[in-house]
Structure 1
Amino acid sequence: MEHLPIFLDIKAKPCLVIGGGPIALRKLENLRRAGAAITIVAPELTAEFRARVDESEIHYRARPFEDGDLEGMRLVIAATDDRAVNRHIGELANARQIPVNVADQPEDCSFIMPSIIDRSPVVVAVSTGSASPVLARMIRARLESLVPAGYGRLAELCADYRDKVKARFEQQRDRRRFWDRVLQGGVAERIFSGHLAEAHVAMEKELAAGTQSSVGEVYLVGAGPGDPDLLTFRALRLMQQADVVVYDRLVAKPIIDMVRRDAEHIYVGKQRNQHTMRQEEINRLLARLAKEGHRVLRLKGGDPFIFGRGGEEIDTLAAEGVPFQVVPGITAANGCACYGGIPLTHRDYAQSVTFVTGHLKDHSIDLNWPQLAQPNQTVVFYMGLVGLPKIVEQLITHGVSPEMPVALVQQGTTHMQKVYAGTLATIIDEVETDPPEPPTLIIVGEVVRLRDKLAWFSIERDPEQGATTPILPGD
């Protein structure tokens, strides 16, 4: 370890920044957020720098650096465009044992500025020891997804309850177990979702429960249409926290593989006329597992509330008094249309879009056909592959032109994606020649005509490595 990572308290302490350009401004921002009393020395400032000085309580000396400027300073930043001046400032500061950072000259620094993730009071700093600031910024960007903004509020809640927890648990072991439970459970998740009042109520319940495990929680998480890259940051975090995962056949295997490795897996997949577990049984299973104290991840393909039956599941959870939260996912219509190069709306072709299920609870497709046959709209049929002949027949019967464009997107956003494009008059023959594999989404509307123009690439995904390769038109 070439540098000792430390955090300095410079709140209200005199700090000096020499330089008036973009680099000096970036350095200034970190000092300002830390509450330093800042003095700027530079003959000129950029317009952006000047605006920041004018709006803040920053003392500005409009002249070149003088040795006496270091007097009384607790920290110095040298960021002029003259390397010799910067080196001179570094030598002076080091001689006076004042911490100094010299921009882009690590040999003249007594400390270096890391790449920072600010979730105050939680702060994460990343450094490569000046070897590669760009790499440090890349690592920081990846960590951003793992440290949501709510961690700052969570730390504040911990500070509020620190004394109460010490009074409640005499043994350090018990305090550690309590905080482990709180920081990875329902209290933390309420903080992350912005429900601060509910978080305090949950915290009081946890204190009352003591070392006894309280009721668990259910996470209804939208896994998206298949591509793991489309998961939300929040979904990824919950996937790593859950100790039981309940999933169905629409959740892609690469996504299942991203769940916490020691979690129990329960498959409840349903296909047409073949149900591993009935929906009512799934609802009761989720409630039972949570009441046993588990953190239950209910992974659902697409979005839980768009033909995902998430509403039925939370009905049961609410009735049973089980805490839950819902994490939206990219629904199949958005994902499949985007990866297929089909805009669901377009000013010239479709001013509305309708999502409709291709079969009802009793396996019929008795839909509002007059409404679905209206012009200037896009209609997306979920789970409509088996009923495709009926869909085509009814749309034409209710006035839709047989020349209306249609696209079927097989297993959209995955390496198995395939797009069948045609019209109402031709699509049946196309799928009979080369039957698509479910799940397949059906898109009906003039926007399908734009596919050849807008689908600048298709997705080819290596099923073993998960790598994606763009395929340009004509390849």
Structure 2
Amino acid sequence: MQSLPLFFRIAGRKVVVLGQGEAADAKRRLVERAGGECVGEPEAHHAVLGFVVIEDDRDAEAAAIRLRCKGLLVNVTDKPALCDFTVPSIVDRDPVLIAVGTGGASAGLAKILRLRIERLLPQGLGRLAEALRDARDAMKARWAKPAECRRALDAALDEGGALDIMAAQGPDAVAGWIASSADSAPSGLHEIVLRSTDPDDLTLREARLLGSADVVAHDPAVSEALLVRARADAVRTGPEDTAHDGLVVVLRLS
């Protein structure tokens, strides 16, 4: 990765937007949609972010330097080399947000990816997220161990699960799932013998196991491209260190 994806909370905070025209207006709408307050450069010392929408390269760079000297992180439209951060294309199923970025390489590609994802995701995905948020205490009571709760949720949200994210869910779906005696996602020890170091060669089952693993025990020669398919907080260890609770996936090269 060349950038670290983050979601920056700007509700109730000031954001500088410099420039005129349709592109600058679009940035102002985006800031206001996220709850921020658009201000000009005189109020930069009270702001947290800055957007520069100025066509002239020298003027844009000068504006970015001025804002950066006042402590702001700056985005300069269509000039990725001048940016501290880039603005992704956004799929909005509030409170679910999916950001598609290309590091400034191609806004057109990010847009088309967003449109493809838009067509796939149901409109009710945000309501499902809110229901899960409201059910946190009930989930903790149902599954005492965090890893056990996470595996149960993984199984429910996966394809064909009780809360399949691609299926329409009724208002009582989450409560019904918690009250049911459905099994959690796989646990125990699972070995994957890799046919290559290309993550695209993983089967669907293997990719799901790797993505759900609490512990990934792997040969030193296993590529980082494969290891990043696991959860970021999964424990990584050597191939013989498999005495762990939860779901342990062993990756071995054939």
Superposition pairs of residues 80-99 of structure 1, within 5 angstroms: 80-99=54-73
Superposition pairs of residues 266-415 of structure 1, within 5 angstroms: none
Matched, 1:123 2:123: no
Contact 1:174 1:211 in 2 (8 A): no
Contact 1:76 1:99 in 2 (8 A): yes
Q: Distance in 2 between matches of 1:166 and 1:142?
A: 35
1:105 to 58, 79, 86: 79
Which amino acid in structure 1 is aligned with residue 178 of structure 2? L
Map of 2:127 onto structure 1: 153
Which amino acid in structure 2 is aligned with residue 205 of structure 1? G
Map of 1:193 onto structure 2: 168
User: Given the superposition, is the C-alpha separation of residues 132 and 161 from structure 1 closer, same or farther in structure 2, using an over 3 Å criterion?
Assistant: same
Map of 1:38 onto structure 2: 38
Q: Distance in 2 between matches of 1:33 and 1:3?
A: 24
Q: Distance in 2 between matches of 1:206 and 1:194?
A: 11
Which amino acid in structure 2 is aligned with residue 26 of structure 1? A
Map of 2:222 onto structure 1: none
Map of 1:7 onto structure 2: 7
Contact 2:75 2:83 in 1 (8 A): yes
Contact 2:128 2:169 in 1 (8 A): no
User: Given the superposition, is the C-alpha separation of residues 181 and 2 from structure 1 closer, same or farther in structure 2, using an over 3 Å criterion?
Assistant: closer
1:219-252 deviation per Cα after TM superposition (whole angstroms, max 9, x unaligned): xxxxxxxxxxxxxxxxxxxxxxxxxxxxxxxxxx
User: Given the superposition, is the C-alpha separation of residues 71 and 96 from structure 1 closer, same or farther in structure 2, using an over 3 Å criterion?
Assistant: closer
Q: Distance in 2 between matches of 1:37 and 1:131?
A: 28
Q: For residue 74 of structure 1, give the secondary structure of its aligned residue in structure 2.
A: strand
Q: Distance in 1 between matches of 2:4 and 2:148?
A: 32
1:84-119 deviation per Cα after TM superposition (whole angstroms, max 9, x unaligned): 322111011222220111111122211111111111
Q: Distance in 2 between matches of 1:261 and 1:194?
A: 24
Matched, 1:203 2:174: yes
Map of 1:180 onto structure 2: 154
2:112 to 131, 138, 142: 138
Question: What is the TM-score of this pair, normalised by structure 1?
Answer: 0.36
Which amino acid in structure 2 is aligned with residue 155 of structure 1? A
Map of 1:166 onto structure 2: 140
Which amino acid in structure 2 is aligned with residue 209 of structure 1? S
Q: Distance in 1 between matches of 2:95 and 2:108?
A: 25
Q: Distance in 2 between matches of 1:19 and 1:96?
A: 18
Q: For residue 71 of structure 1, give the secondary structure of its aligned residue in structure 2.
A: helix
User: Given the superposition, is the C-alpha separation of residues 71 and 205 from structure 1 closer, same or farther in structure 2, using an over 3 Å criterion?
Assistant: closer
Which amino acid in structure 2 is aligned with residue 207 of structure 1? I
1:247-285 deviation per Cα after TM superposition (whole angstroms, max 9, x unaligned): xxxxxxxxxxxxx977xxxxxxxxxxxxxxxxxxxxxxx
User: Given the superposition, is the C-alpha separation of residues 211 and 188 from structure 1 closer, same or farther in structure 2, using an over 3 Å criterion?
Assistant: closer
Matched, 1:27 2:27: yes
Contact 1:150 1:192 in 2 (8 A): no
Q: Distance in 1 between matches of 2:15 and 2:43?
A: 10
Q: Distance in 2 between matches of 1:118 and 1:105?
A: 25
1:350-378 deviation per Cα after TM superposition (whole angstroms, max 9, x unaligned): xxxxxxxxxxxxxxxxxxxxxxxxxxxxx
Identity of aligned residues (%): 34
1:78 to 52, 59, 71: 52
Which amino acid in structure 2 is aligned with residue 156 of structure 1? E
Contact 2:45 2:70 in 1 (8 A): no
Q: For residue 94 of structure 1, give the secondary structure of its aligned residue in structure 2.
A: helix
Contact 1:149 1:192 in 2 (8 A): no
Which amino acid in structure 2 is aligned with residue 35 of structure 1? G
Contact 2:61 2:82 in 1 (8 A): yes
Look at both structures and tell me which one has the larger radius of gyration over its CA atoms.
Answer: 1
Which amino acid in structure 2 is aligned with residue 101 of structure 1? N
Unaligned runs of 5+ in 1: 42-66, 214-259, 263-475
Contact 2:163 2:169 in 1 (8 A): no
User: Given the superposition, is the C-alpha separation of residues 171 and 131 from structure 1 closer, same or farther in structure 2, using an over 3 Å criterion?
Assistant: same
